[in-house]
Amino acid sequence: MTLINEKSFRAKQIYEWLWRKNAGSFDEMTNLSVSLREKLKTHYRIDKITLEDQQISSDKTIKCAFSVEQGKVVEGVLIPTSSRMTACISSQVGCSLACTFCATGRLKLLRNLTAGEIYDQVVYLKNEAESRYSIPLSNIVYMGMGEPLLNYKNVLRSIDFLTSEDGLGMSPKRITVSTAGIAKMIRKLGDDEVKFNLALSLHAANDQKRNKIMEINESNNLEELSDALKYFHEKTGSRVTFEYIIFKDFNDTIDDARELARFARCVPCKINIIEYNPIDGGEFSQADPKKVNDFASFLESKNLIVNVRRSRGKDIDAACGQLANKNKLITNEERILKN
């Protein structure tokens, strides 16, 4: 690191420009002298993500493809509803978990995103919410490309910036980190006594079915996840969200609902039933609406909190599980990897 022999208060000014004002260049830092700005440009650079492509759905969902370096692209989505404005952001370039129902899982993992690259996605989507819809950003979900708990340090650092008064000042209770289920890292979240929300992508409540669609379950089975979630709740006091994509003729029966209800007793929770969004060449299809309603009704009869989530942004492949599906930038990246 180069020492530039400036007074210490300059560091605070630069920090505010980078994190609160999200400056993209040193020239924007107008309360710094010209000589200091030139010195900074000589020794440092600001790595910011750039917008490569943007699509707007008929339901006003916005999908953005961000370039994080040459040839590497991630996607973020702004999801407007009547009650909230949510930024769905990525934590890795690609993904290593290869869940069979997810388009991102077909990509190789290229690298982790830095805390700054994660933060930049939120800032861009926040600005879109305010400029296009005149509605402030209300929620952030780490449910885009990648497995957040395999980029633990940068994910938590990005949340520190997002919740800091010197950053965006978001409440941690407005932030949800979703994981496919890595037991030891869920325990670490408990040890770190995190204040944000945790969601587990469950999708099946018996090991045989979950193994079939999520390889991670072979090394992190449901018993291990249950124990880790209990530990997390004991340490944080936070309720856990279970995400359950419901597939036709796979996990949509009352027996499946009964298994889910049994598993969900491990911790105070709520359950999001999510309609499946088809991907190119996928083996699954959407469950019948009546079966979805019956499934949810059974869970409610067991005094569980249940929400049935209708997907948004399907016409631009921005819905759950579709990121990287049909995106020309990602497709080119995939082609390069295979050569």
Active site residues: 75, 320
| 287: helix, strand or coil | coil
Backbone angles phi, psi at 180, to 5 degrees: -75, -10
Backbone angles phi, psi at 147, to 5 degrees: -105, 110
Token pair, residue 306, equals: 């249940």
Token pair, residue 150, equals: 């395999």
CA 107 to each of CA 68, 214, 281, 323: distance values in angstroms, whole numbers, following the listed order: 16, 15, 14, 11
Burial class, 56, CB count within 10 angstroms (exposed 0-12 / middle 13-18 / buried 19+): middle
d(CA 295, CA 250): 13
d(CA 39, CA 83): 47
**Closest of 99, 98, 139 to residue 122, by C-alpha:** 139
In the block, residue with structure tokens 């569980």: 304
Say if residues 66 and 74 touch (Cβ distance below 8 Å).
Answer: yes
